[in-house]
Structure 1
Amino acid sequence: MKAIIIDDEFIVLEGMKKMIDWSSYGIEIVGTADNGDDGLSLFEKHQPNIVFTDIRMPGKDGLTLVKEILQQSPDVLCIVFSGFNEFEYVRSALKLGVIDYLEKPITIPTIKETLDKILDHVQKQQEIVELKENANQTEQIKLEKITMDLLFQNPNSFENWQSQLAEDSQKVVGVMAIVHDSRSLRLPTRSDSYLAISINTGVNNILVVYMYTSDTSIILKELKNITVEKQVIGIGNMWKDVVELRKSYEEALKAYKYALFRQLKGMQLYEEINRNSKLSKYISEEEKEILYHIILGDHELVYESLDKHFQELEQETLETSILEDALLKLFYLCLETLEESQYDIQNKNTFLPQTELQNVKTKSELRAWISSNIDWIINASEEHQRAKQNHLVEKACKYIHRHYNHNISLQEIAEEVGLNPNYFSALFKNVMGMTYIKYLTQLRMKMAKLMLRHGDTVAEVSQNIGYATYRHFSDTFKRQTGISPGKYKEGISI
């Protein structure tokens, strides 16, 4: 805590600073002043937690100073110094809110007594604040948990929700979900019209709004007031039954992704997407085939299914804008499918398909465009697969490095990386250019040389790098290096 001292007597200022070990009380004296005007400036500069001030000073007196300080910062702890027969001043000071007064001449025991009062007061205030915060946090945590349970449709979620909200649950006439791209987007938690809960699934930021009225325009107005220009917000429909929260969330997520894909900023309502779209919201059989073949990695069948899909589209008389929507939908589904399969599509955030489509004029150009971009997706999936394979082999190598001094088997390493032993063996050799056993042997020989250089005996080295017998180690070392471990050790010591 920081403190300042204000008194027109030099001896009081110096005495107060020097006769008390302020640091033992967790207090730092950050400044002193000899009049009320300078004292106020000092306060405004340092914003201390504690102010010691004389009552009677030339110019601005202590009472006026205390009043002005407490008007600015009501939580500041003020202590006044008073002389003999200044009880009326003291009474006035106590009415202003000072927590103690010291009668002059000031003594060390009286100061220490006051400091004990200050620390006791601070502790009680902190306890009160903590109790309030804990109570609020506990309630908020419970609300977030039951809302998350409702969202994921966990068992007994509705009963727990009713129990937690108690009487407020009777006021709820519907629930709606909002997906957004900013952790700072927060509605006021409670109002006469709704209860808003912020949650995060680990992937998406969500606002869940329990409505006390069917007028959802209230929420749209609130969001409009707090939304910055670059934010993206997807808004689901209000569902009357709170157990339908999942449906509103899925709608909000679709609206959010639609806005991202179209590079739309601000609020995007799910109902507006359905109202404006002439395409089916369901995935066609042709689209399913394309997605399945991409996941399975059968590129030939991907293009066969793609041709079939184009034939279906070309049989219909569609406006260019509807064709564009159909292709954007397909492209979007491909990206989404790969993401759900834990592929990481590089540069997808900087790719602007809707911008490119503005330059496409004919069906053949549309076909060429989607084909080239399906190529891009397939290549991205292949790159991801290679990266994943490299990651698994790297993980296996790290495991070998940690356990080279044990009798580790192919089965053990394969289980560590979650692969079939035969597949792992082939994968390791393909990535590393050698079998796992050769890699392990080379590592052991490197460690053996190091240990021999450090003076370990051949028997010690054999045991410490994972060989069951001295003979096996010695033969392997000689086969790898062209010299026995004993000769190698002798050569180093010469």
Structure 2
Amino acid sequence: MYRLIIVDDEVSTRTGLRDYFEWSAYGIEVAGEAGNGEAGLALARSVKPHIVLTDVKMPGMNGIELAKRLREEDPGVKIVFISGYDDVEYLKSALKMDAIDYILKPINRKELASVFDKIVKLTDSEREQHDLFNHLNAKLQQSFPLLREKFLHRLLHETQWHPGELERQIEFLELSLPSESDYCAIAISVDDEEVAFERLSQREIELTGFSIQNICEEIVAKYMQGYIVEQRKGVFAGILCIRTEAETEALYEMLTELKEQLDDFLKRLMDISLSIGVGSPVRRLTELHHSYRQANDALHQKLFLGKNRLILIDQLYTREQSDFRTIRSRIDKLASMLKSADEDGMMTQLAELFDDIVRNRNMNVKSCRMTGQNLLLVASQFLMEIDAWSEELERAEEQARDSMFRLETISEMQTAVQTYYRLACRAIHDKKSKKSRNVIERIKSVMESRYHENLTISGIAEEVYLTTTYVCLIFKQETGYTLNDYLTKVRMDKAIEMLKDPASKLYDICYAIGYSEPSYFSKQFKKYTGLSPSEYRNMHGGPSDAEGQTHGKGD
């Protein structure tokens, strides 16, 4: 209900207006009445009316003065003047007071209804607008933290501002960012955030982020004014306001304590670390984006320096440009080393390649990861070329490639690449060993099937389609025998087998196993067994006459 007061010096007018009009039909209640302006003002102060229906001409404080005083105290009050036909000058003054309407005496009920119908609709509309404004204002107040965070994000990234925009935003959002101050930006990032957070529930992730931000805000507040915002999951930014020389001197102490407190919290919570990058201070708030870019540049140096670090941009020396031709040359050397499966050499070459990258420290994460991918590709292509590719290697390569996009330091990338190259070396060795075994089996097969012939090393090599030098080298390397020693072994083993047959004559055995001179056969046999052929046969129960028949020729 809207509250109405009636102010008129005529009792009959007040009574008629109060009793003979259905105010409730318009949502109005008569909250009181007064006979003059002074009484009407006192009544208004008491009941706080929405509408005041007042006579223009009254003794003492007239309706014009009353309206003026009411407007001063409550600009929203609706005023309707009552006037006689002879009050034209008063009425002109009343209209200047921004009255809603006026009613002439004698009062017509229909006219009164029309006026108050208009007043109620206007008041309803204003009330709706007021309610809407209050609702939006409440929403705005609820959104203040979000609006502040959005503005601070802009402050870290925006390079240009319209004149006065920065100051208006700071004042509206009630931020303490004085113009007469230096500013420094910091970038905070959880190391390996994807891996670190994948084992946490969403609630635990949110609580971890809230705790990190809260710790940062508490530590910063101990030393200076500042704000911390979460950029995304596991990544935070800080704006530090440095107003005095003492705060400048305390900056490193604050950053050290901040790192220690965060490390302590994350260590107690789980096995997680984080790194902090710090930009150089700037003189104006509009230049904060420079400091923030430097903070991120410093943070990215963990690619070379390692994780779990506090990195100040001012501590980083000027670096030489990486010579990509040197990197390419080292990759070409690795391709050559793969042919010989020189694992030690490849590990040294990889270590030197990554040392070059770390020493220069001017490659970005993307370039480093591409270099790692290229190294994996070189090894995989060679394995495919020699037909040493396998499902195990395919899985290992896929795992290495996937991890390359998650790894944050050169050291981790080096470990991933070296691990894959070790697997590649084993596969190459296995392939070569298998190939060697096949060659050895073929060489043995030639000697075991043709031992009775006048075999030569060149003949054996020709039989297996390899060079004499390679055949000698690989056979000795794989079996421990020279070709001649192994051929002798085959022939002696065959001779031992034949000596067990009493019907076999010694000279027949000599010719059967590829010797043309029985005396040379006997010499080789004794060297092999420690016994002459006849002695060996006698020891194994052979007839002496067989020996006698051949003794002159073989022994």
TM interval, short-chain normalised: 0.3 to 0.5
Select the structure with the greater relative contact order (CA < 8 A; seq sep ≥ 6): 2
Greater helix percent: which structure?
2
User: What is the TM-score normalised by the length of structure 1?
Assistant: 0.37
